């Protein structure tokens, strides 16, 4: 919302080590508010930088410099809105939670074979999400290599501890053996009973909110389409977009 953009621009202004426009020398191609808009649009739409430059009447190189300079700042000023494991545990205590994972795709970086997800057939990162039955997101993990199976990611991230402190957790078949409630698998060469099929339908219906959370999360298209900037910049972009995801649904609605 415009009010959220104004708040974000103000936070970025306060966090900058130097004024955006120094008042001496050659002025910048755009003001700070427009620059923050460009950085957020890049994370939101994940479009070519030339396109963003055309939208704001600046060059592609200017957009690149803006993204490089401001994405880490956006990450920093929005960290307070991203729930950590302790916050998430308090939110799920005594309540049922839903767990799911998703792949955030990226380029096939040389020397990073661990990013290949055989299940999804693409390179990317594994993100684990937790929400409540009403669809309120409570936790999004740091990214793990795309080759990481959901059950392994569950064990290696704070998601396991969060689920263990909840009133019960529900997930899909990828989490079988973790202690979460999951659909039953058909035995090799066998068939599910009517009772098992009905149970699986009910579990799938209960899992619908976490699927919607993932869809909302990946409406920030930096998580949906291939990330194209250098590998070293991914963590800052992921953290900034995750911060924007939570900021957009929290700030102004307290």
pLDDT (tens, 9 = 90+) of the chain, 254 residues, equals 889 999 999 999 999 988 887 767 677 788 899 999 999 999 999 999 999 999 888 999 999 999 999 999 999 999 999 999 999 999 999 999 999 999 999 999 999 999 999 888 899 999 999 999 999 999 999 999 999 999 999 999 999 999 999 998 999 888 888 988 888 877 776 777 788 788 888 888 888 999 999 999 999 999 999 999 999 999 999 999 999 999 999 987 76
Distance CA 39, CA 70 (A): 7
**The pLDDT of residue 25:** 66
Who's near 64: CB < 8 A, 6+ residues apart?
Answer: 49
pLDDT at 198 (0 to 100) = 85
Determine the pLDDT at residue 189: 66
Q: Helix (H, G, I), strand (E, B), or coil: what is residue 166?
A: strand
CB 229 within 8 A of CB 127: no
Query: For the stretch 64-99, what's the b/e string if a residue is b when 16 or more beta carbons lie within 10 angstroms of its beta carbon?
Result: bbbbeebbbbbbbbbeebbbebeebbebbeeeebbb
Strands 97-105 and 169-170: parallel
Structure tokens at 66: 């803006």
pLDDT at 2: 86
- Report the C-alpha gap between 32 and 234 in whole angstroms: 23
Q: Do the Cβ atoms of 103 and 97 come closer than 8 Å?
A: no
What number of helices (H) and strands (E) belong to the chain? 10, 6
Number of residues assigned to the chain = 254
* The model's pTM: 0.90
**Cα–Cα dist 48/69, whole Å:** 17
Query: Residue-wise over 110-136: b if at least 16 C-beta within 10 A, else e?
Result: eeeeebebeeeebbbbbbbbbbbbeee
pLDDT recorded at residue 90:
94
């Amino acid at each position: 919302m415009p009010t959220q953009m104004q708040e974000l621009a103000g936070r970025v202004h306060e966090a900058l080590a130097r004024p955006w426009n120094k008042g001496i020398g050659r002025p910048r191609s755009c003001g700070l508010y427009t620059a923050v808009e460009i950085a957020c649009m890049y994370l939101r739409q994940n479009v070519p930088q030339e396109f963003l430059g055309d939208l704001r009447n600046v060059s592609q190189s200017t957009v690149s410099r803006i993204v490089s300079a401001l994405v880490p700042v956006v990450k920093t000023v929005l960290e307070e809105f991203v729930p950590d494991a302790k916050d998430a545990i308090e939110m799920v205590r005594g309540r049922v939670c839903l767990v799911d994972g998703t792949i955030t795709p990226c380029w096939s970086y040389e020397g990073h074979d661990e990013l290949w997800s055989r299940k999804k057939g693409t390179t990317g990162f594994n993100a684990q999400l937790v929400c409540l039955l009403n669809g309120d997101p409570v936790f999004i993990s740091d990214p793990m290599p795309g080759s990481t199976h959901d059950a392994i990611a569950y064990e290696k991230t704070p998601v396991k501890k969060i689920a263990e402190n909840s009133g019960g957790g529900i997930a899909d078949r990828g989490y079988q053996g973790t202690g979460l409630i999951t659909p039953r698998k058909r035995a090799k060469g066998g068939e599910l009973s009517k009772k098992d099929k009905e149970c699986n339908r009910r579990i799938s219906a209960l899992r619908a909110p976490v699927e919607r959370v993932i869809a909302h999360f990946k409406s920030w298209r930096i998580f949906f389409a291939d990330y194209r900037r250098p590998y070293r910049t991914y963590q800052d972009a992921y953290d900034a977009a995750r911060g924007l995801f939570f900021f957009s649904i929290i700030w102004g609605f307290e």
